[in-house]
Amino acid sequence: MTRRRVAILISGRGSNMASLIEAARAPDFPAEIALVLSNRPDAAGLERAKAAGIAALAIDHKAFPDRESFDRALDAALGEHDIAFICLAGFMRVLTDGFVERWSGRMINIHPSLLPLYRGTQTHRRALEDGVLVHGCTVHFVVPELDAGPIISQAAVPVVPGDTQESLAARVVVQEHRLYPQALRMICDGTARLENGRVVFSRRWDASGALHSPG
């Protein structure tokens, strides 16, 4: 088995990053986390990555005059580390179309909603305001339009009376930590790939059952 070299891009605490690092410890995992990059030098996730023995770099976007030059610096670091796939994990910086096109089919993102609902920020607040009873998270290929890329996998959670943004976020993030390693596995072993703007899966799965909320 070839282990694909993966970079994780973060801006904050890096709990999804940690779940990917943990999953990649398994000998049969088809990816190796070769690099963690943050656009914020103070991102707590950088220390977590270093503690796990992974190369961790800050490329401070504030040190660059524009998005293009920042993205070129990212590309250079990714090239130096011979990276095959990128996982965005709480990376809160919009990438240029050129960068996204270069990494087309090789860059994925985790988003805290059931896309295409609630693109952008404040997803949990907006879900609570709308009174939806099912919420969740999505892993998708990255395309130039924000949070609009082809969907690889989703997990749903119930929304319960009395939920706050915090309680809902906590319920969703538990599922993020399960979903993201699974999705990375699928793109690295070829189970899911991007073809003509759609995700093509090389296996079938059990389609019985449904989540009911209230259960």
Q: Which residues are catalytic?
A: 111
Residues 17-76 that bind ligand GAR (CB under 6 A): 45
CA distance 118 to 214: 21
Instruction: List the x/- string, 113-152, binding to ligand GAR by CB under 6 A.
Output: ----------------------------------------
State the minimum distance, in angstroms, from the CB of residue 115 to ligand GAR: 10
Please count the residues of this chain forming the interface with ligand GAR, following the rule CB under 6 A. 14
Distances (CA, A) of 99 to 60, 84, 92, 94, 212: 17, 14, 15, 10, 40
Q: Which of 8, 110, 192, 199 binds ligand GAR (CB under 6 A)?
A: 110
State the minimum distance, in angstroms, from the CB of residue 158 to ligand GAR: 18
Which residue, 18 or 186, is less far from ligand GAR as judged by CB? Answer: 18
Please compute Rg for the chain using Cα positions: 17
3-state secondary structure of 93: coil
Q: Among all chains, which residue has been given the structure tokens 């709990």?
A: 15
Half-sphere exposure of 141 (CA within 13 A, CB side): 22
Q: Which positions touch ligand GAR (CB under 6 A)?
A: 10, 12-16, 45, 89-90, 110-112, 173, 176
